[in-house]
Structure 1
Amino acid sequence: MKKIYNPTQDSWETILQRPQSSSTEEIEETIKTIFTDVQQKGDQAITKYTRLFDGSNLNDYRVSQNEIEIAVNDVSEPLKKAIQLAKKNIETFHQAQLTKSEVIETQKGVVCWQEKRPIEKVGLYIPGGTAPLFSTVLMLVIPAKLAGCKEIVLCTPPNEQGKVASAILYAAHVCGVTTILKVGGIQAIAGLTFGTKQIPRVYKIFGPGNVYVTAAKQYATKFNVAIDMPAGPSELLVFADNTADASFVASDLLSQAEHGSDSQVILVTTSSKLIDLVEKEIENQINLLPRKAIAIKAIENSKLILVENNKEAMHLINLYAPEHFIVISEDEDFFIHNIQNAGSVFIGHYTPESAGDYASGTNHTLPTNGYAKQYSGVNLDSFMKNISFQKISEGGIQNIGKTIEIMAEAEGLQAHKNAVTLRLRSLKLKANGK
């Protein structure tokens, strides 16, 4: 990891740059080609790209009931219990986000309120590949179910044998998903965008993925499909002072580094001694990891940064806007109260980021690449819409009618004014008994 000591503020933007992967132009051309193919040829194109990218020759992408039963039997009892416990905590946390509608009388006779409605059709993308993320099934399906989404379509890439990881199928089964499709990559996002005979069209697409999936989701928005958020590779920033355990800090940094070679992890600290200790711990711990090669590449993108004080650290962290932010500090309240830009915050010596990834209850689908400055992570509201309602009585329209007429006329919208004028005139005639 690159060590940076007391950088000047004018260098922060450069220091905090995310790693770059494939060229945007190359990715966009690939996405356009696949989207056009799927739009025009449907399942035929899905089959073609599944064979090309996943090495699997499938004509029917739907996961059968028999496959689910095999997966249920295949998952070990300890893992089943772990998934069930995580499911309970995630349900508890997201259930608490349900809110009641409140009716407001903005002026006498003018009543307004909001009601939430579920997004009817949602698509959930679950990465397979080198790390099948069955935990993401819980993070997306549970709030979708609690929100009341009528159609939940889960897409996940198959292996060369046309199979899906048993843990993914088990998690989907315990969460009650019935439409599971063995389709991954750009072609899955295109299928959910346009719909095919086998893949239902959806209104909003959720879930993490590689750089191609992420870019495909953003491209899908051109076709009247919403997405959870723009995203990039996974990232973690740790602030730790001299009270921190270097082995804990190193383990947290490596937990994100093993996600992918384009992941980025950063330590910000006020202790130069801690930098040296963490660096040594990383060297020791990384050699024990099965995904060592991936972690090593990610570490090359990562940094150990020394700053003078907590206030400077806080400014730098808010500028970076990390997906995951761990605070290990004697003055943790300072960071809790002053963090403005972060996807999820983990506080104290015994709160590893992996707790949020799996079982504490919070959602792990979070904004990356600096988008925490303007986006929230996935939550119950991500699967819902707010519809506003209003009802105005005779007295109410008389109370605000003149205001509406004046404003409409000032904007040159005479029909808007007339819609009020006719009503006020009618009430005047009624009052005069005509």
Structure 2
Amino acid sequence: MRIMRAEQFGLKREVEYGTPEQNEAAMRIVGDVKAEGDAALLRYTEQLDRVKLDASQLRVTREEIEAAYDQVDAAFLTAIREAAVNIRKFHEKQLRNSWMDLQPDGTMLGQIMRPLKRVGVYVPGGKAAYPSSVLMNVIPAQVAGVPEIVMVTPPATGGKEGIDPYILVAAAEAGVKELYRVGGAQAIAALAYGTDTIAPVDKICGPGNIYVALAKRAVFGAVDIDSIAGPSEIVVLADETADASYIAADLLSQAEHDEMASAVLVTPSAELAEAVAAEVKRQLAELPRQEIARSSIDNYGAVLMVDTLADGIDVVNQLAPEHLEILTADPMKLLGFIENAGAIFLGPYSSEPVGDYFAGPNHIIPTNGTARFSSPVNVDDFLKKSSLIYYSKEALMKNGESIMTLARHEGLEGHARAIQIRLEKERE
């Protein structure tokens, strides 16, 4: 693992928008599904996923989901249920109510909160299957009150046997009642524009490969999307009190996600830097997904040396990482100085996988420095807000001249006259 001064490290990674060929392919798939519906959806499923289906087979049946329960172990079922409880409790605290504010002059202003009607959830199935992502997408939408939640996932997440049974069970435990075996850019297009089999949605959430990301970008505007997710990232800010084996394990926990994942240690301790580099090498040799993790560490991993923890905080805020662990003598003391991070893990026992799977906060978190301006998936993502204005006669008579002044300043005489006609009539 490279050890270097922080100023030598490229603090901003290029946003991954795909190659021209990938963009062209994604746009072609989206366009075809929009124009042809199920026919294109089935064609691309056979071409790209090597699974031949007819339209009647797209929707996963209740019997398939029930059969999946016989294929998962009891420990998983217990763990997924416990995680679901934690995730639901956390997101319930995010709920906000509609409100109205009545003024003495009879004016009433307010905000009405309503859930989206129909949301599409994409659950990936490439290098691994992610039952946890089912919970992280579905539960906040349920808490928000979304009445229709539809899930799509590639048809062979479990290999030749079809959809991974753990994904099916997670979907059932999360309460998903509408599930389709379709993935990639073609699934995103189907959710956005609809087909004879899949009705269109209002918003699409969930991570996926580069083609999924490009397709989400292409359909944005026709529907809302959560984000265009990049490769996973972890930054660990640590001092000499930290355990090198803990840090190495946490760095590798993200490196094993993807060859383009980023795992970075920021520290003022040269001794810790050397120890972590050595420990990463040792642990990497024992990791089942070591080829993926090694590529990530070699290309996007680093130990960044800084003079002080304060300098380290500056580096962290520039990186704006998806996941930030603070492993110092007093992590709470540093928390107030962290401005940009998707999720913050404090202390030696708050390993990043605790948040990925179980604690309750959402693990779908802004990547690629976008934590500077965006947030993890939350209940607000599934709510829309309407402003409410009830203006009284008294308020209009009092403020009408000011409203007309502003309208005429902008050259919008029609706006001004809409107020003027009322003022003149009330003054007769």
Report TM bin, short chain: over 0.9
Pick the aligned partner of 2:277 from 272, 279, 282: 279
Aligned equivalents of 2:397, 2:17: Cα separation in 1: 62
The residue aligned with 1:25 is 20
Aligned equivalents of 1:71, 1:286: Cα separation in 2: 33
Aligned equivalents of 2:269, 2:185: Cα separation in 1: 44
Aligned equivalents of 2:252, 2:207: Cα separation in 1: 19
Residue 170 of structure 1: how far off its partner (Å)? 0.8
Q: Deviations over 1:93-129 (max 9, x none)?
A: 0001112233234673322111211111111000112
Kindly indicate whether the alpha-carbon contact (under 8 Å) linking 2:119 and 2:201 is maintained by their aligned counterparts in 1. yes
Within-5 A mapping of 1:249-398? 249-300=247-298, 301-398=300-397
Query: CA 1:302–1:288 in structure 2 vs 1: closer, same or farther (change >3 Å)?
Result: same
Residue 16 of structure 1: how far off its partner (Å)? 2.3
1:121 aligns with 2:118: yes
The residue aligned with 1:81 is 78
The residue aligned with 1:108 is 105
Within-5 A mapping of 1:32-431? 32-59=27-54, 60-105=57-102, 108-159=105-156, 161=160, 163-221=162-220, 223-300=221-298, 301-429=300-428
Query: CA 1:334–1:410 in structure 2 vs 1: closer, same or farther (change >3 Å)?
Result: same
Aligned equivalents of 1:409, 1:162: Cα separation in 2: 68
Residue 230 of structure 1: how far off its partner (Å)? 2.3
Aligned equivalents of 1:421, 1:22: Cα separation in 2: 51
Kindly indicate whether the alpha-carbon contact (under 8 Å) linking 2:4 and 2:303 is maintained by their aligned counterparts in 1. yes
Residue 201 of structure 1: how far off its partner (Å)? 0.9
Q: Deviations over 1:315-340 (max 9, x none)?
A: 11111110011111124234311111
Aligned equivalents of 2:245, 2:37: Cα separation in 1: 51
Aligned equivalents of 2:333, 2:63: Cα separation in 1: 54
Kindly indicate whether the alpha-carbon contact (under 8 Å) linking 2:18 and 2:210 is maintained by their aligned counterparts in 1. no
Aligned equivalents of 1:244, 1:19: Cα separation in 2: 31
Query: CA 1:176–1:22 in structure 2 vs 1: closer, same or farther (change >3 Å)?
Result: closer
Kindly indicate whether the alpha-carbon contact (under 8 Å) linking 2:404 and 2:420 is maintained by their aligned counterparts in 1. yes
Aligned equivalents of 1:20, 1:101: Cα separation in 2: 37
Q: Deviations over 1:288-319 (max 9, x none)?
A: 22111111111112111010011211111111
Q: Deviations over 1:14-51 (max 9, x none)?
A: x2243787853121111111112111221111111111
Residue 363 of structure 1: how far off its partner (Å)? 0.2
Q: Deviations over 1:336-388 (max 9, x none)?
A: 11111111111111001101110100000111011111111100000111111
Give the aligned residue type for 1:30: A
The SS at the match of 1:99 is coil
TM-score (norm 2): 0.95
TM-score (norm 1): 0.94
Kindly indicate whether the alpha-carbon contact (under 8 Å) linking 2:2 and 2:277 is maintained by their aligned counterparts in 1. no
Query: CA 1:382–1:327 in structure 2 vs 1: closer, same or farther (change >3 Å)?
Result: same
Q: Deviations over 1:391-425 (max 9, x none)?
A: 11111212221211111111111121122112222
The residue aligned with 2:3 is 3
The SS at the match of 1:142 is helix
Percent identity, please: 40
Kindly indicate whether the alpha-carbon contact (under 8 Å) linking 2:121 and 2:149 is maintained by their aligned counterparts in 1. yes
CA-based RMSD of the aligned residues comes to 1.6
Q: Deviations over 1:249-278 (max 9, x none)?
A: 011000000101111110001111111111
State the number of aligned residues. 423
Deviates more, 1:388-397 or 1:360-369: 388-397
The SS at the match of 1:339 is coil
Kindly indicate whether the alpha-carbon contact (under 8 Å) linking 1:229 and 1:375 is maintained by their aligned counterparts in 2. no
Give the aligned residue type for 1:371: T
Aligned equivalents of 1:293, 1:40: Cα separation in 2: 40
Q: Deviations over 1:157-216 (max 9, x none)?
A: 011536211111111111211110101111111111111111221111100111221122
Give the aligned residue type for 1:120: K
Kindly indicate whether the alpha-carbon contact (under 8 Å) linking 2:88 and 2:360 is maintained by their aligned counterparts in 1. yes
Aligned equivalents of 1:44, 1:163: Cα separation in 2: 21
Kindly indicate whether the alpha-carbon contact (under 8 Å) linking 1:19 and 1:262 is maintained by their aligned counterparts in 2. no
Aligned equivalents of 1:70, 1:388: Cα separation in 2: 47
Kindly indicate whether the alpha-carbon contact (under 8 Å) linking 1:57 and 1:162 is maintained by their aligned counterparts in 2. no
